[in-house]
Amino acid sequence: MSQGFVGVLVTDLLLEQSESLKDKRRVLLRLRSELHRATGAAVTESGSHDLQRRAELLVAVVARDAHGVSGLLDTAERVIERGPFATVRIDRVVRSAQELTEEGGSWHV
């Protein structure tokens, strides 16, 4: 029986063309919309808030099985790689709902 899975991408982006925080926010808003539309992901800026040319995003998806989560994360990575910025790093984590609720379960990137 399927138990549900969660997948997370943590990505570090370099926005070389950004001239201001306003430029950065505009690019990230477009990226967040594209990611949500393509995968249904929840997306938040999780770091580098005050740096105009760097952004750390956290992208989270859920699905019934690990294969579904992996497919959504693959799609999210493709969307990110098409953006007007350099991808410095992408880390990926997939965990079952059971792993997340068990005592001692790990949630580290």
Share of the chain above pLDDT 70, in %: 92
Stretch 69-98: mean pLDDT: 94
Tens of pLDDT along 47-78? 877 888 999 999 999 999 999 999 999 999 99
This prediction has a pTM of 0.85
Query: What stretches of the chain adopt beta strand conformation (E)?
Result: 5-14, 42-47, 54-63, 86-96
Stretch 17-25: mean pLDDT: 90
* 7 φ, ψ (degrees, to nearest 5): -130, 140
CA 11 to CA 43: how far, in whole Å?
Answer: 11
Share of the chain above pLDDT 90, in %: 69
Region of 99 (left: φ > 0; alpha: ψ -120 to 50; beta: rest) is alpha
Identify the pLDDT of residue 98.
Answer: 83
Which residues have C-beta within 8 Å of that of residue 103, sequence separation ≥ 6? Answer: none
